[in-house]
Amino acid sequence: MEKKLLHKNIKVLKQKLSKSSEKTKVETLCELGKLYLESKKEKEFLKTYEQALEESRKISFYEMTAKISFSLGNFYHKKDNFKEALKHYNEALEIYEKLKDQIGFAKTLSEIGTVEVSIGNYSLALKNHLKSLEIFEKLEDQNEVAIQLTNIGLVNQFLREFDTSLEYLFDALKFLENSEDRIAYAKALSYIGISYYGKEEEKCLEFYQKALEIFEEEGEEDGVISQSANIGIAYLSLENFKLALKFLRKPLSYYRKKNSKYQLAICLLNIGNCQIYLDKLDESIETFLEALDLAEELDSKNLASQISVSISQAYELKGNYERSLAYFKKFSQTKDKVFNEELKAQTAEMQTRYETEKKEREAEIYKLKNVELVKLNDKLSKTLQELKEAQEQLVEAEKNKMFLAMVTTANHQLNQPLSVIQGNLELIKHKTYQKLDQETKIHLDKISKNVFRCSEILRSLGEIKKPDYISYIGKVNMVELKKEK
């Protein structure tokens, strides 16, 4: 719509507001907000939609409250503001459930699942997409079924269940081959390419290229940009670093312009990895640090941990073991899985190198300086006093460290198997549930509920930063889990 016409329509809607009834006012505010968004006036859009949301709540206009919350969720999702997106999506979800609006409920579940993927909650993402799939199958909406199959395939990639991922994605292609939704078809092709990544690079590039051609034909700029990034990552895996950089740099300006912080952070991470292999260590560290700032701003712990370990690697290659160790520790604090023995050995090696260099530097300092004995004794006495005062804190910290290590180990050993069990149970339900007798269905439902309960217990443990203990039996204590309100 032309600017003059937009301005005229905005003026007309503003005049209409003063003469509108309560419900009409809410609807008019929404129309006005859409025009602001089309005019790229995001502040005015947010102000208008927040007003519409407040007005709809006052008059219990539930249908519009759900629609407005869903739209605000979409807006914040595109801005990578995952916290605000989830807040609005959850409000919409609750209302759609009360209204028994299955389509609205299923679409909102799907969007929540997509956000959960971005912040690394893959188990919750899988649960939401599977529930959405179940609803759309009952509604016989083939296009939405295909979209959910694609989403489930994507989540399984993050769980590193690539065979399961391909099964869902090829099922999605069957629905989409003759569909008018060419964008959804291209996305499925792209995700199949991701499943082949790291195993069959030629197939990976083949599917990426097919997806890119469709995105270009449809004029889908987001798709063209994402495929450029994917192709760059594939060339990175093939160790063609110069060609990888060429494709990876294409999306940078687009992501900055769109303020797509999550995609920008991933792109910067991959560029930094290319720079490491091209021996541009200072440039790689600068690139990684920008990516880390974005990941921490988004509170994406999974992404932040990946970036931190890459920074650690870059500093290690530069011979700066102190900085390398610092970022490796940062990685360990944000990573939700325990390190394997190889990574522990790497940490110990860096610690040894750092301590060795530190002692050598201190020895040189003591050789060069003529330290007075009295001052040295005073310093030693002060240090001993500080150590004594810190001892109790260290004991407590060690207890917390052991607890966190136990929780991390439990998450590492149990979370992924539980997700796999849950995924396979849902696959059984999806393909053979109607053929099963009632007793078998009951047993399957019991298994699903208990798998979910185990996942919730692990999630609750993972959220504990400092454990509180309660009495269990005799002198034996147990960790208190906070119950959800």
User: How far apart (Å, rounded) are the C-alpha atoms in residues 306 and 337?
Assistant: 12
In our burial notation (b when 16+ CB lie closer than 10 A, e otherwise), range 152-170 reads bbbbbbbbebbebbbbbbe
- Tokens representing 373 are 């004995």
pLDDT score at 5: 80
Which pLDDT score is estimated for 484?
47
Instruction: Kindly compute the dihedral angle of the four CA atoms of residues 76, 80, 81, 82, in this order, to the nearest 10 degrees.
Output: 100
Mean pLDDT computed over every residue of the chain = 83
88 or 366: which leads in pLDDT? 88
| The one-letter amino acid at 341 | E
Q: Which residue has the higher pLDDT, 194 or 73?
A: 73
Residue 98's pLDDT band (boundaries 50, 70, 90)?
very high
Mean pLDDT of 227-237: 89
Q: Quick one: DSSP state of residue 369?
A: -
Segment 29-47 shows an average pLDDT of 91
CATH code 1.25.40.10 for 149-259: yes
Mean pLDDT for 182-207 is 89
Confidence bin at 158 (pLDDT 50/70/90) = confident
How far is Cα 335 from Cα 306, in angstroms, rounded to an integer? Answer: 8
pLDDT at 179: 82
Length of the chain measured in residues: 485
CATH 1.25.40.10 location in the chain? 149-259, 262-380
CATH architecture of the domain covering 262-380: Alpha Horseshoe (1.25)
**What confidence tier does 357 reach under pLDDT thresholds 50, 70, 90?**
low
Instruction: Name the DSSP letter for residue 482.
Output: P
CA distance 244 to 269: 13
Helix (H), strand (E) counts: the chain: 21, 2
Give helix 62-78 / helix 22-38 axis angle, nearest 10°.
20
Nearest residue to 299 via CA among 173, 474, 120, 135? 120
Displacement of CA 99 from its chain's centroid (Å) = 30
Residue 96 neighbours by CB distance under 10 Å: 24
Q: Which residue has the higher pLDDT, 307 or 302?
A: 307
DSSP secondary structure, 284-321, as one string? HHHHHHHHHHHHHHHT-HHHHHHHHHHHHHHHHHHT-H
User: Among 230, 152, 149, 148, which Cα is nearest to 196's?
Assistant: 230
Q: Tokens 């009952």 appear where?
A: 138
**Side chain identity, residue 101:** D
Please compute the mean of the pLDDT values over residues 91-97 and round it to a whole number: 97
The pLDDT, as a whole number, for residue 272 is: 94
Average pLDDT over residues 17-46: 89
pLDDT at 372: 56
Between 148 and 389, residue with greater pLDDT? 148
